[in-house]
Amino acid sequence: MSDFGDYLKACQKRIDTHLDQQFCNSHPGLERLYAAIRYSVTGGGKRVRPLLAYASCEALGGTDKPVDVVAGAVELIHAYSLIHDDLPAMDDDNLRRGRPTCHRAFDEATAILAGDALQALAFEWISCEGSWQAETRLRMTTLLARAAGPQGMVGGQAIDLASVGAQLDQNALEDMHQHKTGALIHASVRLGALATERADDDQLAALEEYARCIGLAFQVQDDIIDIESDTSVSGKQQGADHARGKPTYPAMLGLDGAHALARSLCDQAISTLEPFGSPAERLRQVARYIVERRF
């Protein structure tokens, strides 16, 4: 098994190549919209969600060829959420991945539409691409819709907005993040498994617990990075969440407490993978990567 750094790069290259082949459209009047879509989707990023889909598929011994479709679809949902979250009426961010945010590089109206378009495209891809049985594709489509919608990611953003300046306890903070980032991370893991068309209920339940732990660990680590990493490393404005009065794990538990929680969640995630044996090694490495990354 090759070094995880190489695997990470290979996965990133793979999804980047896949995404780079999309969004070709020269219809009159749509040039700016497609430019904004390409700008937002092909502008790098860690590609954690595609990585999870690939690694989850591998854990079940699945061929990973058609997983590009689901990896791409979750990345589109993620990309759309970043565009909308960055808008002036939301987080009002100027910088994303070290470049101007979509509404800064283009304009607000185009950014709103690019996000809207990406959400629709994600459902188009997942409902009609690939060679799965109809039942599998439907299940994947519904899963992605729930993860993206008000009971998932969008709901998390709404809870986040409602909680600015509020005192949240740790349960409420966890609830917010399980919606905001956890739902789509969970969907990525589950979609990778469903794509093999051989996951049983026990395996899906174990992966659900794995996803719950790393989803939360991901957010804890994001909060830590917001404090510890400067802008040149993270590509985001340092301390932006903190300055906005958003509740964070370091604010609640202290920096050491937050680090300890991230490590504990990582260990918990890895322990759920025991029944999968060595094919789940990539998922274990991803769990470690999530709490060790600096951006």
Quick note: the x/- pattern for a second copy over 24-43, rule CB under 8 A, is -x-xxxxxxxx--x------
Contact between 17 and a second copy per CB under 8 A: no
**Stretch in the footprint of a second copy (CB under 8 A) among 7-15, 119-127, 212-220, 240-248:** 119-127
Least distance to a second copy from the beta carbon of 248, Å? 16
Rank residues 150 and 254 by Cβ distance to a second copy and give the closer one: 150
Restricting to residues 196-235, which ones interact with a second copy according to CB under 8 A?
none
105 binds a second copy (CB under 8 A): no
Binding string, residues 233-252; x marks residues near a second copy by CB under 8 A: --------------------
- At closest approach, how far in Å is the CB of 1 from a second copy? 37
Question: What's the closest the beta carbon of residue 131 comes to a second copy, in angstroms?
Answer: 13
User: 136-175 mask for a second copy (x: CB under 8 A)?
Assistant: -xx--xx-xxx-xxxxx-xx-xxx-xxx--------x--x
Is residue 124 within the footprint of a second copy (CB under 8 A)? yes
Dist. CA 286–CA 295, nearest whole Å: 14
Confirm or reject binding of residue 110 to a second copy (CB under 8 A).
Answer: yes
Give the residues lining the site for a second copy (CB under 8 A): 25, 27-34, 37, 80, 84, 87, 89-90, 107-110, 112-113, 115-117, 119-121, 123-124, 127-128, 133-135, 137-138, 141-142, 144-146, 148-152, 154-155, 157-159, 161-163, 172, 175-176
